[in-house]
């Protein structure tokens, strides 16, 4: 019924609703105190403070009540005790006067804004660069890991014609001191007849030294040095034969033995890794 009264518009005075108070089990009925003589003062002559009135576009006059047959009646109420804050302390001296034009100081104010924007952008880019650099640096290997990633080998400890095994990055590393006969034999191999064609000079930096990762390319076994049908390396697990250059010559292995990165730092020392 109250909804009908709210939507009735001009017919609202003719529509009535009844309300009855029902006492509950915990609290008895108590008459409400009615203040019929209390009036709310409203000064209609004060200017209305709203978004339109601040810019001078508000209508001048009292409160307006509207009513129609197909719409509810309404009365516009305004809080006329709102104080407009004063922002003079935050404004520039060039724009303090509301009646004066601010176009004369527009260039200087824009220049300051552009300067502050550029300075903020540069500072933000610098901070972002440092954050990204620190994040990427945290992902790099530590000093102890980098120390284990390289191995320095003294070549004078390996006699000619012998092969010595080292542990490098958890894998066996073969360093072979070849004789002149082995160098000539491997250099004369027909590359076109190899399963993984590669010339001997492409696998060594010095002909007398061959450095290989001692892991069979078939299933990851460790070959035996100075063994096999070609005098190089032999994997007894599945019968792969490699020559003195580490190239696959016979057996199920598909590729040659891996040649790691290394460099000679003298006639007697090599660094692998």
pLDDT in tens, 134-161: 999 888 877 777 777 788 888 888 899 8
Residue 19 scores a pLDDT above 90? no
d(CA 271, CA 264): 6
pTM, 2 dp: 0.49
Q: How far apart are CA 40 and CA 63, in angstroms?
A: 15
Name the residues annotated as catalytic.
238
- Average pLDDT of the residues of the chain: 77
> Cα(212)–Cα(175) distance, rounded to whole angstroms?
7
Cβ atoms 264, 206 nearer than 8 A: yes
pLDDT of residue 105: 77
Looking at residue 91, its pLDDT comes to: 79
Sequence-ordered alpha helix ranges (H) in the chain: 2-7, 51-54, 106-139, 143-148, 180-187
User: Is it the case that residue 222 has pLDDT exceeding 50?
Assistant: yes
- Of 127 and 31, which is predicted with more confidence? 127
What does the pLDDT average to over 178-202? 90
Give me the mean pLDDT over the 165-189 stretch: 89
Asked whether 232 and 111 are in contact (CB, 8 A), the reply is no
Convert the pLDDT of each residue in 98-132 to its tens digit.
777 777 777 777 888 899 999 999 999 999 999 99
Q: Is 14 exposed, middle or buried (0-12, 13-18, 19+ CB in 10 A)?
A: exposed
Q: CA 109, CA 105: separation in Å to the nearest integer?
A: 6
**Domain-wise residue ranges, the chain:** 104-140, 148-272
As its CATH architecture, domain 148-272 has: 3-layer Sandwich (2.102)
> Which of 4-18, 125-139, 194-208 is predicted least confidently?
4-18
Binning pLDDT at 50, 70 and 90, where does residue 81 land?
low
**Predicted local confidence at residue 85, as pLDDT:** 82
pLDDT at 182 over 60: yes
Tell me how far apart the alpha carbons of residues 273 and 263 are, in angstroms, rounded to a whole number.
8
Residue 27: per-residue pLDDT: 55
Q: What is the distance between the alpha carbons of residues 206 and 188, in angstroms, rounded to a whole number?
A: 16
CA distance 98 to 148: 74
Phi first, then psi, for residue 8 (nearest 5°) are -75, -20
Per-residue model confidence as pLDDT tens digits over 50-68: 544 544 444 444 555 555 5
Q: Which letter does DSSP use for residue 265 in this model?
A: S
**What pLDDT shows up at residue 12?**
45
Question: What pLDDT digit, counting tens, does each position of 32-45 carry?
Answer: 555 555 565 555 55
């Amino acid at each position: 019924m109250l909804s009908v009264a709210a939507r009735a518009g001009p017919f609202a005075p003719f529509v009535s609703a009844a309300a009855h108070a029902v006492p509950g089990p915990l609290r008895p009925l108590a008459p409400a105190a009615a203040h019929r003589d209390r009036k709310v003062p409203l000064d209609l002559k004060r200017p209305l403070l709203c978004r339109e009135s601040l810019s001078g576009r508000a209508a001048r006059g009292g409160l307006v009540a509207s009513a129609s047959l197909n719409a509810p009646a309404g009365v516009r109420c305004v809080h006329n005790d709102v104080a407009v804050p004063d922002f003079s302390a935050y404004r520039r001296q060039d724009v303090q006067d509301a009646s004066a034009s601010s176009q004369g100081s527009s260039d200087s104010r824009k220049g300051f804004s552009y300067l502050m924007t550029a300075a903020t952008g540069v500072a933000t880019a610098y901070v972002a660069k440092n954050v990204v650099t620190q994040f990427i640096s945290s992902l790099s290997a530590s000093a102890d890991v980098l120390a284990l990633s390289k191995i320095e080998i003294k070549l004078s400890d390996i006699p000619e014609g012998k092969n010595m095994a080292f542990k490098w990055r958890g894998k066996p590393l073969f360093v072979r001191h070849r004789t002149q006969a082995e160098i000539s034999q491997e250099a004369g191999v027909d590359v076109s007849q190899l399963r993984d064609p590669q010339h001997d000079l492409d696998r060594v930096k010095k002909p007398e030294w061959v450095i290989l990762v001692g892991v069979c390319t078939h299933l990851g076994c460790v070959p035996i040095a100075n063994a096999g049908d070609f005098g190089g390396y032999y994997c007894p697990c599945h019968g792969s034969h490699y020559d003195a250059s580490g190239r696959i010559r016979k057996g199920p292995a598909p590729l040659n033995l891996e040649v790691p990165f290394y460099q000679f730092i003298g006639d007697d020392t090599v660094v692998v890794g």
